[in-house]
Amino acid sequence: MSTDAMSNAALFERAQRVIPGGVNSPVRAFKAVGGTPRFVQRAQGPYFWDAEGTRYTDYIGSWGPMILGHGHPEVLAAVQKAALDGFSFGAPTEREVELAEEILKLVPSAEQVRLVSSGTEAGMSAIRLARGFTGRNKIVKFEGCYHGHADALLVKAGSGLATFGHPTSAGVPAEVVQHTLVLEYNNIAQIEEAFASQGSEIACVMIEPIAGNMNFVRASVPFMQRLRELCTQHGAMLVFDEVMSGFRVALGSAQSVYAKAIPGFAPDMSVFGKVIGGGMPLAAFAASREVMSQLAPLGPVYQAGTLSGNPVATACGLTTLKIIQRPGFFEQLGQRTRSLMDGFVKVAGDAGVTLTADSEGGMFGFFFADSLPQNYQTVMAKGTDTFNRFFHLMLDQGVYLAPAMYEAGFVSAAHTEQDIADTVAAAANAFRQL
């Protein structure tokens, strides 16, 4: 980066001349909330500093991966050592085997795992594998769940049950999404009717068990239990997209949360990202040995990637996964996150502001509503203008929340009790000004 200091506004203007929208991922542009994006110069622990030298307490953590905070010394040492050995080989390494073993140790629903470089790649590959394994074409997703920008998944629901998808992005032919059905999250009647009418044609149902792309919305236990029953009954695969929730909401990921509530519960396939890379480009999909045997070079389902299992990324991810297994890690992380959300609800109430909140492990969400939304439509109806004002009031006090109402937030192990208390105090000040 240049050593000449520039303002965020000047950098954004410069960026827009050479990068579409001035950003390399849309939500960073602040379009949902308005204003000027902060250009990050460096980060450490629970903080980052922008181009103007302003420090922010970071509650997005690179959208989830930085569960240990930024620049954890053990992770940094592992990455530096790996980089000295080489950036990329295009050949197998022992460390990618170790990372696969570590993931499978924590995810009893799977027996084998394939490493890739992004959540989009993992989700796309999981669908291809589900179609190849079942010999079926149709897939089911839920409105408000985001599984990456693969063509077949860039679909929204229309009105009524099981509306066939229409592309939500230019450049995606209607023919590509004709086999994608989009249903309402947490709607048992819709999923029952979809399977009753088309169950023999459905290859898989893909779901974020705890959705982080419509803020923070859980799949209810009855909904998840019925989903599992229907997939089993009709021979469809239940695919858990845990790119965001994996190793973030619990050591065993969201599927372990549901396994505690539903005896014998397990998905057929799991998609991971973010935390397993510790902030480096790394993702994975995992399933039984029988399912994974359909992948090349063993089977007819092709998937490949030059940078898959990258030696620097696996060093980062492996060290991160080992640290989060230490005794008490998730207990403390969950307590800090609940403390933040409980604090928000209390000070909002003190200020006469209606607010509800939820969290699991190190992932959280809050809504300017009197009850927690259960699907995308109810999320969309809740307090966008209020959130935007709140976001900027917090930003002005050095607290960086997700710059859109439809994104979950994240607490790291580096956030101290004082950081949480200071953030709640900032929220109290913001709520009084709404």
pLDDT digits (tens, 9 = 90+) for 273-289: 999 999 999 999 999 99
CATH of the domain at 360: 3.90.1150.10
**CB-based contacts of 114, cutoff 8 Å, min separation 6:** 125, 284, 285, 286, 292, 295, 303, 308
Q: Are 337 and 362 in contact (CB under 8 A)?
A: yes
Residues of the chain with pLDDT under 70: 1-4, 156-168
Is residue 204, in this structure, part of any structural domain at all?
yes
**Are residues 358 and 411 part of one domain?**
yes
Q: What is the pLDDT of residue 173?
A: 78
CA distance 308 to 305: 5
Active site residues: 146, 241, 274
**Are residues 48 and 109 part of one domain?**
no
**CB-based contacts of 373, cutoff 8 Å, min separation 6:** 214, 215, 217, 367, 379, 382
Q: What is the pLDDT of residue 287?
A: 98
CATH of the domain at 221: 3.40.640.10
CA distance 160 to 220: 21
Q: What is the pLDDT of residue 167?
A: 61
CA distances from 264 to 123, 256, 413 (A): 24, 10, 31
pTM above 0.85, yes or no: yes
**Are residues 119 and 88 part of one domain?**
yes
**Are residues 302 and 210 part of one domain?**
yes
Q: Structurally, how many domains does the chain consist of? A: 2
Q: What is the pLDDT of residue 163?
A: 35
Q: What is the pLDDT of residue 108?
A: 96
Tens-place pLDDT, residues 347-387? 999 999 999 999 999 999 999 999 999 999 898 887 789 99
